[in-house]
Amino acid sequence: MRPRAALALALGLVLFLTGCGDPGKTQSRAGGPPAATATPKPKATPQPHPSRTTRPKLRPLPRTLPAGLRRSSGDRGIALTFDDGPDPRWTPQVLAQLRAAHVTATFCLIGRQARRYPQLVARIVREGHQLCNHSWRHDLNLGRRPVAEIRADLLRTNQAIRAAVPHARIAWFRQPGGRWTPEEVTVARQLGMRSLHWSVDPQDWDEPTAATIIKRVESAARPGSIVLMHDGGGDRSQTMAACRQLIPDLNRRFRISRLR
């Protein structure tokens, strides 16, 4: 055999003995057993971040207040309503003033507050006042949410009130901020509650002076008015001061009466 041909044959034999009989494996550099070829991992499907999940789009508010809202006391007397309680500081003061004047009012209760202060809910009922559901957490956009959410919110609030006073009569519902929708009025009616609006709003939630609150109420009050004030949700010291004059004055001028 010629030298060149012998060299080629030897080279081919070496390649065969050390080469790649198994194409799926390669030898390690240290001459150890073949290592498996790495298989690429499939790419994970990206998941949306929890904070980026979208809630159902809110319905727009109607241009006018929907039908079915109560905006009159039902007779020539005036009705007083107090929102956003019960509050351990302010609600007892309102109750004391009402008791001194021998009149009753309607308390629009926040569900979370009712759960936290059940003894005040029981006192409100014990002293002859009416109850109103004012949503679980004062959700200004409650009426724009899906109907199932509206119903769940109102039911949860009623349950908190009745945990304090079993079999309590909750005749009314008031949407926070007066941002009513027809869907909300319908759900409240289905749960046995009438929708309660107002006709006199001194905007005491903004904490004006007692003199301003008195002026706003007395200038707007008429026979049959429903007056909106607050016994919770902030510093109500000016409201309490105003009520010391307003309650006897309104009772003398119009007679403060229960909602009918």
The partner residues of 85 in beta bridges, in order of sequence, read: 109
pLDDT of residue 116: 98
* Domains of the chain: residue spans and CATH: 69-253 (3.20.20.370)
pLDDT of residue 67: 96
Give me 119's structure tokens. 């003894």
Mean pLDDT across 23-44: 50
Residue 167 has pLDDT above 90, yes or no: yes
pLDDT of residue 75: 87
Lowest mean pLDDT among 47-51, 168-172, 252-256: 47-51
Residue 28 has pLDDT above 70, yes or no: no
What is the DSSP code string of the chain? --HHHHHHHHHHHHHHHHS-SSTTEE--TTS-SPEEPPPPPPPPPP---GGGPPPPPPPPPPSSPPTTEE-S-SSSSBEEEEEEE--TTTHHHHHHHHHHHT---EEEE-HHHHHH-HHHHHHHHHTT-EEEE--SS--TTGGGS-HHHHHHHHHHHHHHHHHHSTT--EEEE--GGG---HHHHHHHHHTT-EEE--SB---GGG---HHHHHHHHHHH--TT-EEEEESSSS--HHHHHHHHHHHHHHHHHT-B----
pLDDT of residue 128: 98
Name the residues annotated as catalytic: 83, 230
Residue 81 has pLDDT above 80, yes or no: yes
Torsion sign across C-alpha atoms 185, 187, 192, 193: negative
pLDDT in tens, 233-252: 999 999 999 999 999 999 99
pTM, entire model:
0.79
pLDDT of residue 42: 59
- CA 40 – CA 77 distance, rounded (Å): 81
Mean pLDDT across 133-148: 98
pLDDT of residue 22: 47
- CA 163 – CA 93 distance, rounded (Å): 23
